[in-house]
């Protein structure tokens, strides 16, 4: 029998304050000051810094989406499901009774090995793990005393995987965090124990009778290091703040992500799902943030989604996140039997090999002092600057733009005993590299200084390698507004571009510099999904057509200093390369601007960036 242990909480207005909440005891609820003010009163900057210390040090973690849905592997009654596999109950409209009988009860991951999971994460360089304690299907992946709708009491498995995972993490020195879906629970739909319709009153009951008791149960019984909420916009604001206050009182040292009660109230910001790109993250509220990519396009295991990115993608994304002062929480969706998919194992093995050589360039690092570099990214640790070289210079001459400090020595992490030659060239430094890169994805050069290195200035256009200028490092004109259509996309593989280019005054601007004169071919890169479904992408379940209700077209103008190149936006597709012509540029400052001539579609295009390819004399 499925039941919920009810904690006696009196019905109150949504703005009331939950003053205390102890497991198994009555809760006193009375009108008070705004809840978030009460949360703030419990917090100091020093307390937050202490709480986030290990998380800032880590830089790399493993996200695990694993539940009873994993056994379905993206298929229901012979139908392949297009979408996140963990959403299969919603996508296929599976009734709770059917889900219980056909999905929850049979679940039996006989090959689950918590120690193997934790060792795998540790070998890949991950210092923390966040796993789905309860996802949107409402099935708790632990021995909950609040609700028997859990894998211990209701499934064939009959074990507590979170208890086993916690023990394994403690043995290996890995921090464990829990994802908990505090605003969506499909298991409660139509349940007579909860008020109808689905509005503020129902959400209050769902949180008071299940979500908050289970969250506090997890804190009390498992002592997690991090709580990862989700979909806060589906709860009234005051209700999320009540949860946050209860969590802060239960464990002041527990890190809370920005999706529990909104980005401004969490300990750190979380990117959109499946990020493949993100900006420079220099805003005052962007000191602490976390990106959550996944290996293919689903978070839970999806047997038909073969869109896995190559390992190099994640190695470079990890370096980019660290360079911008953020963490990478990389997701894996284990199979229903508790093992990792073959494709995920291959990615993890490559990450492990890279980390053994280069892990010091990520863990414990800070935001780089340098401007974006065409050859890759950089991270900082004390008086050492790490150069993550994605694009190895063919002539062995690596030019570092805007490095102000005097260099003591340069070495490769792959060959630390061999010093590299270095030459100061005005505001830049040139490093002499071997002919062959030690690692094709990311070879790391360590630069040592007597003091903390300094740098900055505009982007340096490299004279001997291709320069890819991303819109995520550019200035948008006019500046985007919170509710405006002109903005950056979410940064996924399909949205790494600007959106809403419907007005002629819109433009994208980069401030750059050339250390020496050069001639370059100029190419604009953009997306323009076809409204007729001709744009094909590999995604969940195989190939699918990505369509847009918009039309694109017009004339694009790219100015480089005093020179302007023109091109016509006429080709539909993803990552379209539009050659614009050739320019010769002199040394010195350079403003690069992309603007519209005439817009003949609903939008001009979805610009991804500009590529400058040097032409040999």
* Confidence band of 38 (pLDDT split at 50, 70, 90): confident
* The pair of three-digit structure tokens given for residue 294, joined into one six-digit string: 């996944």
DSSP state of 525: E
Least confident of 114-118, 256-260, 365-369, 536-540: 536-540
- Tell me how many degrees the CA angle 254-87-83 measures, rounded to the nearest 5: 120
Q: Report whether pLDDT(5) > 60.
A: no
Indicate whether 207 and 250 sit together in one domain: yes
Interatomic CA distance for residues 267 and 205, integer angstroms: 27
DSSP state of 31: -
In the block, residue with structure tokens 């949180």: 207
* The pair of three-digit structure tokens given for residue 350, joined into one six-digit string: 């490559």
**pLDDT tens per residue, range 216-264:** 999 999 999 999 999 999 999 999 999 999 999 999 999 999 999 988 8
Dihedral sign, Cα of residue 455, residue 459, residue 463, residue 464: positive
Q: Report whether pLDDT(8) > 70.
A: no
Q: What is the mean pLDDT of residues 411-434?
A: 97
| CATH number of the domain residue 38 falls in | 3.20.20.80
DSSP state of 68: G
280 in any annotated domain = yes
**pLDDT tens per residue, range 321-370:** 999 999 999 999 999 999 999 999 999 999 999 999 999 999 999 999 99
| CATH number of the domain residue 386 falls in | 2.60.40.1180
In the block, residue with structure tokens 């030459």: 423
**Beta bridge mates, 537:** 544
pTM: 0.92
* The pair of three-digit structure tokens given for residue 493, joined into one six-digit string: 């593989």
Indicate whether 331 and 392 sit together in one domain: no
Indicate whether 357 and 233 sit together in one domain: yes
| pLDDT at residue number 32 | 52
Average pLDDT of the residues of the chain: 91
Indicate whether 93 and 223 sit together in one domain: yes
| pLDDT at residue number 192 | 75
**pLDDT tens per residue, range 126-171:** 999 999 999 999 999 999 999 999 999 999 999 999 999 999 999 9
Which residues have CB under 8 Å from 355's CB, separation 6+?
A: 123, 124, 125, 362
Interatomic CA distance for residues 410 and 422, integer angstroms: 7
Q: How far is CA 97 from CA 136, 137, 186, 270, 322, in A?
A: 16, 12, 11, 34, 45
3-state SS of 78-89 is: CEECCCCHHHHH
Long-range CB contacts (within 8 A, 24+) of 281-285 = 281/324, 281/325, 281/326, 281/367
Indicate whether 198 and 254 sit together in one domain: yes
Q: Report whether pLDDT(286) > 90.
A: yes
* Confidence band of 480 (pLDDT split at 50, 70, 90): very high
The percent of residues above 70 in pLDDT, for the chain, comes to: 91
* The pair of three-digit structure tokens given for residue 242, joined into one six-digit string: 């009540």
339 in any annotated domain = yes
Helices (H), 124-274: 161-172, 200-206, 212-222, 237-250
Note whether 454 and 370 are within 8 A (CB). Answer: no
The percent of residues above 90 in pLDDT, for the chain, comes to: 84
- Report CA 497 to chain centroid distance, whole Å: 16
Interatomic CA distance for residues 540 and 333, integer angstroms: 14
461 in any annotated domain = no
441 phi/psi in degrees, rounded to 5: -85, -45
Q: What is the mean pLDDT of residues 34-47?
A: 78
224 in any annotated domain = yes
Indicate whether 302 and 327 sit together in one domain: yes
Q: Report whether pLDDT(28) > 60.
A: no
Indicate whether 348 and 441 sit together in one domain: no
Among the candidates 361, 386, 409, a domain finishes at: 361
3 in any annotated domain = no
Long-range CB contacts (within 8 A, 24+) of 540-544 = 540/74, 540/81, 540/82, 540/83, 540/84, 540/85, 540/296, 540/297, 540/298, 540/302, 540/304, 540/305, 540/307, 541/74, 541/80, 541/81, 541/82, 541/302, 541/304, 541/305, 542/80, 542/304, 542/306, 544/82
Q: What is the mean pLDDT of residues 556-563?
A: 97
Indicate whether 295 and 409 sit together in one domain: no
| pLDDT at residue number 4 | 40
Least confident of 118-122, 390-394, 435-439, 571-575: 571-575
Note whether 607 and 471 are within 8 A (CB). Answer: yes
* The pair of three-digit structure tokens given for residue 47, joined into one six-digit string: 């307390």
Among the candidates 312, 335, 361, a domain finishes at: 361
* Confidence band of 532 (pLDDT split at 50, 70, 90): low
| CATH number of the domain residue 550 falls in | 2.60.120.260
Cβ burial, residue 135 (10 Å; 0-12/13-18/19+) = buried
Dihedral sign, Cα of residue 469, residue 473, residue 475, residue 479: positive
228 in any annotated domain = yes
**Beta bridge mates, 429:** 400, 424
Q: Tell me the DSSP string of 371-398.
A: PPBTTEEEEEETTEEEEEESS--TTSEE
Question: Range of 552's domain?
Answer: 467-614
Indicate whether 352 and 409 sit together in one domain: no
334 in any annotated domain = yes
Q: Report whether pLDDT(14) > 70.
A: no
Residue 152: CB atoms within 10 A of its CB come to 18
Indicate whether 128 and 198 sit together in one domain: yes
* Confidence band of 13 (pLDDT split at 50, 70, 90): very low
Indicate whether 566 and 594 sit together in one domain: yes
462 in any annotated domain = no
Among the candidates 432, 456, 480, a domain finishes at: 456
Indicate whether 267 and 396 sit together in one domain: no
Task: Please count the structural domains in the chain.
Answer: 3
| pLDDT at residue number 488 | 97
Q: Report whether pLDDT(547) > 80.
A: no
* Confidence band of 204 (pLDDT split at 50, 70, 90): very high
């Amino acid at each position: 029998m499925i039941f919920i242990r009810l904690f006696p909480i009196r019905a109150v207005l949504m703005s009331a304050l939950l003053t205390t909440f102890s497991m198994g005891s009555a809760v006193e609820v009375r009108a008070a000051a705004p809840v978030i003010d009460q949360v703030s009163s419990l917090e100091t900057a020093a307390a937050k810094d202490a709480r986030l210390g290990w998380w800032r040090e880590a830089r790399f973690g493993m996200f695990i989406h694993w539940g009873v849905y994993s056994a379905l592997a993206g298929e229901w009654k012979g139908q392949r499901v297009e979408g996140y596999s963990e959403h299969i109950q919603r996508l296929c409209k599976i009734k709770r009774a059917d889900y219980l009988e056909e999905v929850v009860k049979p679940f039996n991951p006989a090959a689950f090995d918590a120690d193997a999971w934790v060792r795998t994460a540790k070998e890949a360089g991950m210092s923390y793990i966040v796993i789905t304690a309860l996802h949107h299907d409402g099935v708790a992946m632990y021995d909950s005393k609040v609700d028997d709708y859990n894998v211990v009491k209701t499934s064939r498995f009959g074990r507590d995987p979170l208890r086993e995972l916690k023990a394994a993490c403690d043995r290996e020195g890995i921090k464990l965090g829990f994802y908990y879906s505090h605003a969506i629970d499909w298991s409660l739909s139509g349940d007579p124990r909860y008020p109808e319709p689905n509005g503020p009153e129902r959400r209050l009951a769902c949180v008071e009778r299940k979500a908050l008791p289970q969250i506090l149960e997890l804190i009390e019984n498992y002592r997690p290091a991090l709580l990862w909420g989700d979909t806060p916009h589906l709860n009234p604001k005051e209700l999320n703040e009540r949860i946050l206050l209860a969590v802060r009182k239960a464990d002041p040292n527990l890190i809370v992500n920005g999706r529990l009660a909104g980005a401004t109230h969490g300990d750190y910001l979380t990117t959109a799902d499946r990020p493949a790109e993100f900006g420079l993250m220099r805003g005052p509220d962007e000191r602490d943030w976390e990106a959550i990519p996944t290996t293919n396009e689903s978070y839970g295991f999806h047997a038909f989604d073969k869109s896995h990115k190559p390992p190099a993608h994640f190695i470079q994304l990890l370096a980019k996140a660290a360079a911008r002062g953020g963490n990478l929480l990389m997701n894996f969706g284990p199979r229903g039997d508790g093992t990792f998919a073959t494709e995920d194992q291959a990615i993890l093995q490559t990450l492990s090999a890279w980390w053994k050589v280069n892990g010091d360039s990520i863990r414990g690092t800070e935001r780089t002092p340098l401007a974006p570099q065409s050859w890759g990214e950089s991270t900082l640790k004390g008086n050492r600057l790490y150069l993550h070289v994605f694009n190895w210079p063919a002539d062995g001459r690596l030019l570092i733009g805007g490095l102000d400090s005097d260099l003591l020595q340069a070495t490769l992490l792959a060959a630390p005993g061999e010093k590299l030659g270095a030459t100061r060239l005005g505001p830049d430094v040139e490093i002499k590299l071997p002919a062959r890169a030690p690692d094709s994805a990311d070879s790391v050069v360590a630069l040592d200084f007597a003091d903390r290195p300094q740098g900055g200035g505009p982007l340096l256009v490299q004279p001997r390698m291709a320069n890819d200028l991303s819109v995520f490092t550019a200035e948008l004109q006019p500046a985007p507004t919170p509710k405006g259509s002109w903005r950056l996309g979410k940064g996924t593989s399909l949205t790494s571009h600007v959106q809403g280019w419907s007005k002629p005054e819109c433009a994208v601007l980069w401030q750059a510099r050339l250390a020496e004169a050069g001639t370059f071919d100029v190419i604009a890169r953009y997306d323009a999904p076809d409204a007729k479904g001709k744009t094909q992408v590999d995604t969940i379940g195989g190939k699918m057509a990505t369509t847009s209700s918009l039309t694109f077209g017009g004339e694009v103008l790219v100015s480089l200093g005093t020179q302007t190149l023109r091109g016509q936006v006429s080709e539909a597709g993803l990552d379209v390369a539009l050659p614009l012509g050739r320019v010769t540029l002199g040394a010195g400052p350079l403003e690069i601007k992309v603007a519209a001539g005439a817009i003949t579609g609903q939008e001009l295009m979805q610009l991804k960036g500009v590529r400058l390819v040097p032409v040999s004399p």
